[in-house]
Amino acid sequence: MEAQGVRTAQLRIGDQIEAWHRGRLFHRGRVTDVVPHLELFWILDARTGTRKLLDPEALEIRHVEPATGVSPAAMA
């Protein structure tokens, strides 16, 4: 089963995404800026904390659920 990639026009600032290439996760983070007419966007990379410019033509972009930072035990 092949996942459907997200187009730049579908992204909004604050979205959490993953960027995949050939079945490998390359980046994960929060969208910080979108330029739909250039098909480019930036994320704040969760692993490095740096801002990354991503090209969705070279990567498969997937929406992911944001991490809540709350443990299940704290919600009980």
Q: Which of 12, 43, 40 is CA-nearest to residue 25?
A: 43
In this prediction, residue 57 has a pLDDT band, given cuts at 50, 70 and 90, of confident
- What integer is the mean pLDDT of 36-60? 93
Domain count within the chain: 1
Torsion of CA 38, 10, 46, 53, to 10 degrees: 0
**Is 8 domain-assigned?**
yes
In this predicted model, what pLDDT tens digit does every residue of 1-45 receive, in sequence order?
344 578 888 899 999 999 999 999 999 999 999 998 888 999 999
Rounded to whole angstroms, what are the CA distances from 53 to 1, 16, 43, 58, 69?
28, 15, 7, 12, 26
Q: What is the residue range of 1's domain?
A: 1-16+23-32+59-67
**52 falls within a domain:** no
Q: Taking Cα atoms as reference points, which of 37, 44, 39 lies closest to residue 14?
A: 44
Radius of gyration of the chain (CA): 13
